[in-house]
Amino acid sequence: MSHHPFEQDTTFAQIGNHKTEPLKAVSTPIYLSTSYRHEKIGHGNGYDYTRTGNPTRDVLEDAMARSEHGDRAFATSSGMSAIQLVFSLLAAGDHIVTCRDVYGGSYRYFAMLEEKQGFQFSYWNGQDADKLADYIQDNTKAIFIETPTNPLMTNIDMAAVSRIAKEHNLLFIVDNTVYTPFLQQPINEGADIVIHSATKYLAGHNDVLAGAVVAKGNKLCEELAYIHNSTGSTLAPFDCWLLMRGMKTLPLRMRQHEYNAKCVKAFLESQPLVNQVLYPGKGGMLSFYLNDETYVEPFLKALNLFTFAESLGGVESLITYPATQTHADIPEAVRHSYGLTNELIRLSVGIEHADDLILDLEHGLAAVAK
């Protein structure tokens, strides 16, 4: 076998096909055993208890680390537990700079950390890199961003953030859920830690709840491994296997998501009832404003193909109303201040035929026009 680095399509398709697997299984076996037999005192085979290490999870974590160009990865029980794992590196009294347009669940968790654990958060608009340093205090320990942001789909300049983080010796954490490692690898842009809600594009079929943390640097990885084992937010073996199965087709799916999203974007931009379309330039997510919030209800009601549901990144197209669903925990005045208003609709464009998706949206807009 040649040793040149493979293209992403090859690397993803080959996840779990380990030539060294003892029984020559092409698909990584699911090790459900919670305990592992020891031959004698001090002689284990590297596995003792499944929370501390599981052979199926190891294969997944190895694949995740390689996909993001990190040193180690940690598979967690959800995207939020991935965020919690990373914030467990920090302590009461620490200050974190994050982006204003952030997932509602992250905002809710940050508010809880402020209230119950004495953390402090400052919210930066994500665009003015020259103003980012103004938010840094003596007790600032990290910068946390999503790029593109959710749901306003704004790209943040990771290289610029990384420079500031390094100057001030801060941890630079990036949530890469929306673009996935197929479209961007934040560690290559200077991030220390990458987070995923693996429930979304990585698993890709709206059927697995999972998270992932990927880190660079030995000290950081050892600390995360210690916390991951100590707190027990590990992903169950069967879910690890399902996630690997989803990741095998990530490049294929992402190409179709992106092609469809670009078709949908072009269609929506031509519609008089649509005020503005927010698309970050690549990937399968977009948001748009209807001209009036009273249009939202009839529009949603008339859709057949798009499912009105929370979440994103699955093969099926979903439509989400951030104001009452994903971002409901952000106070209305705060939301409105940065453009997350009640006219905003978010689309997770699936892999169906683009023409059918456009027809469905046309149907929805026709119902509004009536």
pLDDT bracket for residue 1 (50, 70, 90): very low
The one-letter amino acid at 297: E
CA distance 254 to 136: 36
Nearest to 18 by CA among 233, 235, 244: 244
Supply the pLDDT for residue 91.
97
Mean pLDDT of the chain: 96
Is a pLDDT exceeding 80 seen at residue 3?
no
Which of 311-337 are b and which e, b meaning 16 or more Cβ less than 10 Å from the residue's Cβ? bbbbeebbbbbbbebbbeebeeeebee
Q: Where are the domains of the chain?
A: 8-247, 250-369
Q: What are the tokens at 281?
A: 């330039």
Supply the pLDDT for residue 73.
98
Share of the chain residues as helix, strand and coil, in percent rounded to the nearest 5: 40, 15, 45
What are residue 193's DSSP bridge partners?
173, 215
Length of the chain (residues): 370
The verdict on whether omega for the bond into residue 5 sits within 30 degrees of 0, i.e. cis, is no
Residue 183 · residue 283 · CB < 8 Å: yes
**Which entry of 94, 175, 239, 360 is annotated as an active-site residue?**
175
Nearest to 347 by CA among 297, 292, 283, 293: 283
Supply the pLDDT for residue 18.
85
Residue 329 main-chain phi, psi, to 5 deg: -80, -10
Q: H helices within 185-304, ranges in order?
A: 218-231, 237-247, 250-269, 296-302
Clarify whether 66 is annotated catalytic: no
For residue range 288-347, what is the model confidence (pLDDT) as tens digits? Answer: 999 999 999 999 999 999 999 999 999 999 999 999 998 999 999 999 999 999 999 999
For residue range 74-108, what is the model confidence (pLDDT) as tens digits? Answer: 999 999 999 999 999 999 999 999 999 999 999 99
pLDDT bracket for residue 349 (50, 70, 90): very high
Supply the pLDDT for residue 20.
85
**Which entry of 36, 51, 109, 123 is annotated as an active-site residue?**
51
The verdict on whether omega for the bond into residue 148 sits within 30 degrees of 0, i.e. cis, is yes
For the sheet containing 120-124, what is the strand order? Answer: 72-76, 211-215, 193-197, 171-175, 140-146, 95-99, 120-124
**Which entry of 200, 253, 262, 282 is annotated as an active-site residue?**
200
DSSP assignment letter at 254: H
The verdict on whether omega for the bond into residue 322 sits within 30 degrees of 0, i.e. cis, is no
Residue 359 · residue 260 · CB < 8 Å: no
Supply the pLDDT for residue 109.
98
Q: What are the tokens at 341?
A: 């208003």
* CATH code for residues 8-247: 3.40.640.10
For residue range 144-197, what is the model confidence (pLDDT) as tens digits? Answer: 999 999 999 999 999 999 999 999 999 999 999 999 999 999 999 999 999 999
Q: What are the tokens at 289?
A: 């404003």
Residue 24 main-chain phi, psi, to 5 deg: 65, 25
Q: What are the tokens at 312?
A: 């994103």
Supply the pLDDT for residue 4.
67
* Mean of pLDDT values over 200-223: 98
pLDDT bracket for residue 2 (50, 70, 90): very low
Query: At a CB cut-off of 8 Å and minimum separation 6, what does 53 contact?
Result: 46, 47
Residue 268 main-chain phi, psi, to 5 deg: -60, -35
The one-letter amino acid at 221: C
Collapsing DSSP to helix, strand or coil, 161 comes out as helix
Clarify whether 175 is annotated catalytic: yes
For residue range 20-63, what is the model confidence (pLDDT) as tens digits? Answer: 888 999 999 999 999 999 888 877 778 999 999 999 999 999 99
Q: What are the tokens at 209?
A: 């709840």
Residue 82 · residue 197 · CB < 8 Å: yes
The answer as to CATH 3.30.930.10 being correct for domain 250-369 is: no
Q: What are the tokens at 351?
A: 């892999």
**Which entry of 31, 103, 107, 201 is annotated as an active-site residue?**
103
* Mean of pLDDT values over 245-274: 98
Residue 108 · residue 328 · CB < 8 Å: no
